[in-house]
Amino acid sequence: MLSKYILEARNISKEFYLPVKHNILKNNNLVVKQGDLITIHGESGSGKSTLLYILATLDTQFEGDLIINNTIIKTQSQSFLSDFRNKNIGFVYQSHYLLQEFNVLHNVLLPAFKSDKKNKEQLREKASKLLTELGLSSYLNYPVYKLSGGQQQRVAIARALINNPKLIIADEPTGNLDQKNSQMIFELLQKISSEQKTAVIIATHDPKIYNNSNISYEMTDGVLRLS
């Protein structure tokens, strides 16, 4: 039976052993539906980023069960997960990780070329449309290092969207931005969630973001609770 959830996390726990044994995550449960906009806030070191790395399938060394788009994650090979992430999960990080040697359009296209090497012209048209919708139509051929921080983060959002992911995971996406650009990025993610019905999970320290999300959780000492 197919699940109605994009993501199901059941009893997710994780221990670190150095320098001493430490339970960084403790029996966390989370369900995410199509179009959900979920925020996770909490103090630094509370376990937010650790949980996001697990939800993003980047860390498979955990206790519990994780199912994304009806796929059980824990039993899969790393090669399978690499392809799965590229097709199903978009990433937006505090540091946007754009490739400085490429222009804006090429940065957005990289995940698409990885999954579809044939339809390059169609992908270019799609990337151009995405960048236009994000207010970057005049910057397609700009080297990314010439863009402002807010512009670079919009390029990162376009890159995250290029493969039509079921889920976007954003780890402190506004952490390096001023208040005006932070609000703009959050409104873009809200729009994506609402209009495209893409599920969005955001880890943030900004109360203006987590107080305006559909569902907000607080992480305290490795435990996720509705706030």
Per-residue CA distances from 166 to 85, 111, 142, 211 (Å): 10, 15, 29, 24
SS3 label, residue 166 = coil
Q: Whole-prediction pTM value?
A: 0.92
Beta strands in 60-138 (DSSP E): 63-68, 71-72, 89-93
**What is the fold of 33-46+76-217?**
Rossmann fold (3.40.50)
Burial 122-139, CB ≥16 within 10 A → b, else e = ebbebbbebbeebebeeb
Joined tokens for residue 114 = 């990885």
The domains of the chain are located at: 33-46+76-217
Confidence of residue 114 (pLDDT cuts 50, 70, 90): confident
Per-residue CA distances from 152 to 108, 155, 203, 225 (Å): 11, 5, 19, 32
Confidence of residue 1 (pLDDT cuts 50, 70, 90): low
* Beta-carbon count within 10 A of 211 CB: 11
What would the pLDDT profile of 181-200 be if each residue is shown by its tens digit? 899 899 999 999 999 999 99
Confidence of residue 117 (pLDDT cuts 50, 70, 90): low
Confidence of residue 4 (pLDDT cuts 50, 70, 90): confident
Joined tokens for residue 151 = 């512009």
Q: According to the model, what pLDDT value does residue 17 have?
A: 79
Which pairing describes strands 223-226 and 215-220: parallel, antiparallel, or unpaired? antiparallel
Q: Which residues have a Cβ under 8 Å from the Cβ of 167 and sit 6 or more positions away?
A: 6, 7, 32, 68, 69, 88, 89, 90, 198, 199, 200, 201
What would the pLDDT profile of 16-60 be if each residue is shown by its tens digit? 877 778 899 999 999 999 999 999 999 988 999 999 999 999 999
What would the pLDDT profile of 79-111 be if each residue is shown by its tens digit? 999 999 999 999 998 777 899 889 999 999 999
CA 50 distance to own-chain centroid:
13
Q: According to the model, what pLDDT value does residue 175 have?
A: 86
